[in-house]
Amino acid sequence: MQKLDNKTLQIFLHRFIAELKEENERRNIRCEGERDLDIPFIISSLYQNFDEYTDIFKEFIQELCLYPDYNISILDSQNDYNGIIDAEINLMKYPDEENEQYYTDGHSPNYDYKLCFSYDSRDYGYCQCTPDMPDYREDKHCCGHGCDAAFCEFSLHKVLHITSGSWDGDEHDYWEFEDEFYLSDKELADKKEKEDRERQIVELKNRITADQKRLAELEGV
């Protein structure tokens, strides 16, 4: 694979591939036999677009230059239908190398980028290729022309962070809010009451079982 003409995009692609490799290592640690991400498949359309349509990514390139300490995180796809993975690009710039280890010392904007990868299935027709056909590949058992195939498509999003917040008050304040909420929503209140009752029944049965066992042990002494 040839390097991209745009140095910023080439650096990003290199770092993205490195993160995909690390994700595969993490998957192998989490669950032996878990299927690795198909790295060339995932980056194929991204590389092609970076190479052929560089001007479309002008703003993205500028942001990567402004925030060169960006971090790439691989996430499960939020597209339940045909998603593969998502990749968050958290923009960050550290003032100098000495402070690079401290996230709070860096500067980041109120937005990030996100890449979403999914399958692009193309129903060209059932493969009927034979070894005597042009471009036939023995390892693929196909010539790769006019047959059903799946490719990887991507979308690039700029995600604006509008605000963030947390509860203002202590736990008792929250309990009052919770009570008011259930007073205004009878359906959820009934459901919660049922769940609380079922939980209490289970806890009581467990205590009775434990007490009966302990009683039998004492009586058997």
- Residue among 43, 51, 45, 49 nearest 3 (CA): 51
Q: 192 and 145, same structural domain? A: no
Rounded distance, CA 154 to CA 207, Å?
A: 55
pTM: 0.74
Q: With respect to residue 58, please indicate whether it lies within any of the assigned structural domains.
A: yes
Q: Which domain holds residue 42?
A: 7-160
Q: 76 and 47, same structural domain? A: yes
- Residue among 56, 61, 85 nearest 7 (CA): 61
Q: 191 and 145, same structural domain? A: no
Secondary structure class of 107 (helix, strand, coil)? strand
Q: With respect to residue 201, please indicate whether it lies within any of the assigned structural domains.
A: yes
Q: With respect to residue 167, please indicate whether it lies within any of the assigned structural domains.
A: no
Q: 185 and 149, same structural domain? A: no
Q: 117 and 203, same structural domain? A: no
Provide the domain count of the chain.
Answer: 2
Q: 152 and 183, same structural domain? A: no
Q: 63 and 142, same structural domain? A: yes
Per-residue confidence in pLDDT tens, the chain, 221 aa: 899 999 999 999 999 999 999 999 998 888 776 789 999 999 999 999 999 999 999 999 999 999 999 999 999 998 768 899 999 999 999 887 655 554 456 788 999 999 999 999 999 999 999 999 999 999 999 999 999 999 999 999 999 999 989 999 999 999 999 888 888 888 888 888 888 899 999 999 999 999 999 988 888 76
User: HSE of 4 in the Cβ direction (CA atoms, 13 Å)?
Assistant: 21
Q: What pLDDT is attached to residue 97?
A: 62
Q: With respect to residue 166, please indicate whether it lies within any of the assigned structural domains.
A: no
- Residue among 46, 148, 33, 56 nearest 89 (CA): 46
146 φ/ψ sector (left φ>0, alpha ψ -120 to 50, else beta): left
Q: With respect to residue 208, please indicate whether it lies within any of the assigned structural domains.
A: yes
